[in-house]
Structure 1
Amino acid sequence: MDLRDRLADVRRRPNLYGLTTFGEAAAFVTGMDAATEWRFLEGFREWLAAKSELGANLVWQVLVVRIAYPDEANDYWVAASHGESSEAVAVLFDELHSFLTDRETRNTE
């Protein structure tokens, strides 16, 4: 199973992988990045920052939570990252899918 297939499986069944919070899902994705010697998420933070116009100085985890909850206070990401946040988890997997698709498209052109 390649990384895209694994990611799709995790997205479909996060509880099977023990992922019930955004923090756990983010840690899992970071582990995938580490397993690829930090190439899996290369450019993801920059891509999110450009797409969301939220600022290039934020880590990707904060960008995802702020995309998921645009009307919340800036410190909301702390609570959302530790609590059960199905919306933030869904946004994480949606954005990852879009990012990887965009990167693959650019690499084949």
Structure 2
Amino acid sequence: MRACSSSNQALLTAIRREPARHGLDGSFSSMTTFLLGLDAGSSWSMLTGFQEWLVVRLGRGHGLTWPFLVRHLAPGGWIHLLTKHADAAAVITLHRLLRDYFTIRERSGGLARILLDHQSWMVTQDWLQLDEAEPDSGSQRG
């Protein structure tokens, strides 16, 4: 998996430096579309844990996909219609987050740590109720 991650990082670095050389216009939309294609081509294993890692970083957004989480983490937070400036900031944020994610994931046990951190975050959420609710005694018929 390390060689795969290293080659992914090299490709992402090349794309960041010269997006047009890879058929991209440099926008957040084209970059996320390209990454989703790469991930699909790896049987959805290239970015395993990325969404979970972003949720823990943001502290919310469990139901969001990683492109939305990245936009929430970009300077200025979520902006519905990306301005040229916000788009550029989102692309820079995406590349920084991917670099940090792959650095952590490549460590021994990195993916397991990412998933355990996410699980630990999940169980602290009020909306996650693992215990079965007590039946309402007033609604029982005798």
| Alignment TM class, shorter chain as reference | 0.7 to 0.9
Are residues 1:27 and 2:33 paired? yes
Higher gyration radius (CA): 2
Structure 1 outlier segments of 4+, above 3 Å: 69-72
Partner of 2:105: 103
Name which structure has the greater RCO, CA cutoff 8 Å, separation 6+: 1
TM-score normalised to structure 1 length = 0.81
CA deviation vs aligned residue, 1:2-21 (integer Å, no higher than 9, x gap): 22211111112223322332
8 Å CA contact retained: 2:71, 2:77: no
CA RMSD across the alignment: 2.0
What TM-score comes out, normalization by structure 2 length?
A: 0.64
Q: Distance in 1 between matches of 2:60 and 2:108?
A: 23
Residue in 1 that maps onto 2:11: 6
Percent identity over paired residues = 28
Uncovered stretches (5+) of structure 2, i.e. residues with no partner? 1-5, 111-142
The count of residues paired between Structure 1 and Structure 2 equals 102
More helix by share: 1
Whichever residue aligns with residue 14 of structure 2, its letter is D
Question: CA–CA distance in 1 between the matches of 2:66 and 2:89?
Answer: 16
Q: Which whole-Å CA distance do the structure 2 matches of 1:10 and 1:53 have between them?
A: 29
Q: Structure 2 CA distance, aligned partners of 1:86 and 1:71? A: 13
Among residues 6, 15, 37, which one is paired with 2:43 in the alignment?
Answer: 37
One-letter identity of the residue aligned with 1:91: T
Give the aligned residue type for 1:34: A
How far off is 1:88 after superposition? 0.3
Amino acid of the structure 1 residue aligned with 2:12? L
